[in-house]
Amino acid sequence: MSRTSPTSCAGGDDMQVGRRDFLRLTASAGAGTAIGGLVGLGVTLAPAEARAQELRIKDAKTTPSICPFCSVGCATLIHTVDGKIVNIEGDPRSPHNEGTLCPKGAAIYQLHMNPNRATKVLHRKPGASDWDVVELEWAMDRVAELIKQTRDETFIEKLPNGKLVNMTPAMFALGGATLDNEFNHVCQKFWRGLGVVAIENQARI
């Protein structure tokens, strides 16, 4: 049976669907829906989609920005209405992404507008099973206290062979994809200044 032959369920033959068959079957299935019916009649939805997009960003303020997710650094346009983000899309003026975004970048909107986004600092005491909401100031002090304590306890000035290293192997710095280049640059300077040598980032350094 060739790849383009009709499908068959009889006679125990393997069912194979050629490209033409697939398109025909897909069109038939789509014709059962309103959109499928329109598409089947040759109606293009592109103008309606463009109009919907135009309405969504009508009167919005446009601010140029950069996708934070990877070092490609695609340019974006952020549309806001009354200070709230209503849309983020690729900037067509950008010479390297020309208005496009990859699937990750295209989902950037949910970084900001997301009901699951954590907005409070949570702390779980050693041995506890529940999280407590704590003040950011308290959490920052606690982190600083533990960093200082760990560094003091584990700092190695020289190796047994006398080589000067000034480092601690007890801490690891892991950056996040939503940190921008500049912040990551400051971060790694900070960690190196403390003697941390294990520094990693998902995307940018």
Query: Segment contacting ligand SF4 (CB under 6 A): 40-48, 67-75, 141-149, 178-186?
Result: 67-75
Angle at 94 between CA 92 and CA 62, to 5 degrees: 60
Query: Segment contacting ligand SF4 (CB under 6 A): 47-55, 72-80, 136-144, 189-197?
Result: 72-80
Q: Binding pattern to ligand SF4, positions 77-116, x when CB under 6 A?
A: --------------------x---xx-xx-----------
Q: Binding pattern to ligand SF4, positions 10-49, x when CB under 6 A?
A: ----------------------------------------
| Dist. CA 3–CA 5, nearest whole Å | 6
Task: Say what the alpha-carbon torsion angle 97, 99, 100, 103 is, to the nearest 10 degrees.
Answer: 110
What count of other Cβ atoms lies within 10 Å of the Cβ of residue 18? 15
Q: Which of 1, 72, 143, 159 binds ligand SF4 (CB under 6 A)?
A: 72
Burial 136-175 (b: 16+ CB within 10 A, else e): eeeeeeeeeeeeeeebeeeeeeeeeeeeeeebbeebebeb
Residues that bind ligand SF4 (CB under 6 A): 67, 69-70, 72-74, 97, 101-102, 104-105
